[in-house]
Amino acid sequence: MGTRWIIEGNIDQRWPVNTRGNVGEVFPEVITALGYHLGVVPAEKAWRDAYAELGIQSPGDFAGDDPVIIGLYGGYCYLNLSYLRMMGVRAPGSSAEAIDVTFFGEGNPPPYVARKGDKSLRSSLRILRTVLKALGTKKLPDIVADSFQRAAAFEALRPDLDAPDAELLDYMYAFPEAFAPLFGNHMQTTAVAGIVSGILVDACAAAGQPGLVTHLVGASGDVHSARYATDLYEIAKVIRGQPTVMEAFDDGVDGLLERTGADPAAADFHSMFHSFLDTHGHRGPNDWELSARTWDNTPTLALTALDRMRVADHDLSPVDRLVDDDERRRAAAETVRPHLNFMDKGNFDKALRALPFWSQAREATRDRAVRVMLPVKQVYRELVRRSIERGGSAGPIEVALLDPVSELPHYLKDPSTMAGMLSDRSALRDRFAAVEPPFFIASQDEVPTIEELESVAASVAPTVAATSGAVLTGDAGASGVARGRARVIQDPADGAALEPGDVLVAPITDPAWTPLFLPAAAVVVNVGALMSHAVIVARELAIPCVIALEGATDLIPDGALVEVDGTAGTVTLIEA
């Protein structure tokens, strides 16, 4: 038998199709034992509770408590496509296909095949009640305020970082109970936003112009995840007015805060940047993972984005670029509306009015679900720091490969006793991280071993880059057309290569990347769907965006002159 990851899930035979779609954006890397036990397990329960509350879940859907919606196979997180389609199957007027477009978008998923038990009159009636209430929304839902209150309450309980190991561990162990309701809030707003936006998707399809949905969705206004970029831009404008700070950035972002600490001219920059970290420091790449980098523990990630903004020779504020947004939405609505029947027209108009509130709510509840992780990440990194003082050599990612309850406390007492095991697990993690997991898994037999993944990787021929004149087609993400030099970036920490006006070509669209969106002329990503988190942000920042362009980071040569059409979902190589 081949070598498998240290934790593996079991495929539920009733809900067999699992996908990396969508979850590949928020869990792009190999998951750790820490992230799984303290994060994924309570998230699964919260997700089920949220769907039960909304009426999507039907009694008898799940046979046990083991994670099904959020699976773990071959080292990576998967979402259960079979089950999530029930949101469309059971919601009146929706469909499994609408859910695919809204949340997954890419990968040519296996077609939905109806089975006994999928439809549920009880669920449909409860969902109908939820939808009618959602379509009548005229303000930000109360669930957002609840999320802010819960996150702040748990953060206030964090012990001082000089507290004993046992006290810090107890705080970590209290995290799942605090996290679950916040994640449940996020799942509720995500589901409702998906159903409401699905009405617009179906309407555009009925009109024969699916691309118009990008105009209809447009900018929602005051989306929480867009504030990172706009707040950083305000700091960038201050930096531009301070020659010595500009010179410090010219010398690189490593050690920049220390180098400018004694410069009186840098006082405003320091004040604003630390305020930014206080407000947004919980975000970063792979930010659902408890061992991951954040802007709080790795501020160079945010400084890199500032570095790109400060050298822009034009105003990066999205206000001017959004000036035509309402007119585009109105024109698109007038194009679509004649193709709808009387009942659908009414729901279409209500969805247009309600979606901005649910888009805002979705991003706000997501932000608070990540925010509640910040104090746990701080506590965890302090424990890792202490383990290094006691002779350990493993960093946060490696230590996170230990079971947080049965193994971590023993490691903290004497790191040497588990050094060999951690070395073996770290080596295994590196092997899984070096290969691409299958996009779909539909049976237990398809869960790959690392040997099978490495064999597949060795047999795949390198992708040949596209040539001048090629038109690459993905999905529409955010409307608009822009030209620029393609800059292929694999990690937001490497964003220094992005010049203002370049087209950012990236593997994912996690919100942690969004500060790099603002100086970019357009964004192209390998994965994504209509309701991808950062696609929503791209619309807020008025950045043309093409999503689900499979292999974009390999197909588009770095430095090529490209034209991005975010409405058509195409990238044309003008000069490769």
Written in H, E and C, the secondary structure of 27-95 is: CCCCCCHHHHHHHHHHHHHHHHHHHHHHCCCCCCCCCCCCCCCEEEECCEEEEEHHHHCHHHHHCCCCC
Residue 103 is predicted with a pLDDT of 76
Q: Is the pLDDT of residue 107 over 60?
A: no
Taking alpha carbons only, the member of 98, 327, 379 closest to residue 215 is 327
Taking alpha carbons only, the member of 53, 330, 109, 100 closest to residue 194 is 100
Residue 261 is predicted with a pLDDT of 94
- The β-bridge relationship of strands 522-525 and 561-565 is unpaired
* Residue range 4-44, pLDDT digits in tens: 999 999 999 999 999 998 888 788 899 999 999 999 999 99
Taking alpha carbons only, the member of 385, 394, 396 closest to residue 416 is 394
- The β-bridge relationship of strands 570-575 and 471-473 is antiparallel
Q: Where are the alpha helices (DSSP H) in 372-449?
A: 374-389, 396-399, 408-413, 419-433
Q: Is the pLDDT of residue 222 over 70?
A: no
Find all residues with CB under 8 Å of 64, minimum gap 6, and list them: none
Let me know: does 107 contact 551? Beta carbons within 8 Å: no
Q: Is the pLDDT of residue 97 over 80?
A: yes
Residue 495 is predicted with a pLDDT of 86
Mean pLDDT of 179-188: 97
Let me know: does 542 contact 325? Beta carbons within 8 Å: yes
- Percent of the chain whose predicted confidence (pLDDT) is above 70: 98
* Residue range 144-157, pLDDT digits in tens: 999 999 999 999 99
Distance (Å, whole) CA 121 – CA 126: 9
Let me know: does 177 contact 42? Beta carbons within 8 Å: yes
Q: Is the pLDDT of residue 179 over 80?
A: yes
Among the residue ranges 162-176, 217-231, 424-438, 513-527, the one predicted with the least confidence is 217-231
* Residue range 472-498, pLDDT digits in tens: 999 888 888 999 999 999 988 888 889
Distance (Å, whole) CA 412 – CA 422: 13
Taking alpha carbons only, the member of 72, 19, 21 closest to residue 43 is 72
Let me know: does 400 contact 290? Beta carbons within 8 Å: yes
Q: Is the pLDDT of residue 220 over 70?
A: no
pLDDT band at 227 (very low <50, low <70, confident <90, very high): confident
Find all residues with CB under 8 Å of 229, minimum gap 6, and list them: 305, 514, 515, 517, 518, 537, 541
Residue 393 is predicted with a pLDDT of 93
pLDDT band at 105 (very low <50, low <70, confident <90, very high): low
Mean pLDDT of 277-298: 94
CA torsion 392→398→402→408, rounded to 10°? Answer: 40
In this prediction the pTM is 0.91
Distance (Å, whole) CA 217 – CA 43: 28
SS3 506: strand
Residue 106 is predicted with a pLDDT of 55
- The β-bridge relationship of strands 545-547 and 522-525 is parallel
Residues in the chain: 576
Mean pLDDT of 225-242: 89
Rg, Å, the chain Cα set: 23
- Residue 227 sits at the vertex; the CA angle it makes with 180 and 280, to the nearest 5 degrees, is 55
Mean pLDDT of 424-449: 94
Domains of the chain as residue ranges with CATH: 471-575 (3.50.30.10)
Distance (Å, whole) CA 221 – CA 215: 14
* Residue range 250-266, pLDDT digits in tens: 999 999 999 999 999 99
Mean pLDDT of 294-311: 93
- Residue 558 sits at the vertex; the CA angle it makes with 557 and 562, to the nearest 5 degrees, is 70
Binning the chain into helix, strand and coil, the percentages to the nearest 5 are 55, 10, 40
> Residue 565's beta-bridge partner residues?
481, 570
Taking alpha carbons only, the member of 516, 521, 525, 520 closest to residue 552 is 525
Mean pLDDT of 208-229: 77
Average pLDDT, the chain: 91
Strand order across the 18-19 sheet:
70-73, 76-80, 18-19, 440-441
Annotate 415-470 with DSSP letters as a single string: GGGGHHHHHHHHHHHHHHHTSPPPSEE-SGGGPPPHHHHHHHHHHSPPPPPP-TT-
- Residue 99 sits at the vertex; the CA angle it makes with 97 and 104, to the nearest 5 degrees, is 100
- The β-bridge relationship of strands 471-473 and 475-478 is unpaired
State both tokens at 126.
């409860």
Residue 1 is predicted with a pLDDT of 65
Q: Is the pLDDT of residue 460 over 90?
A: no
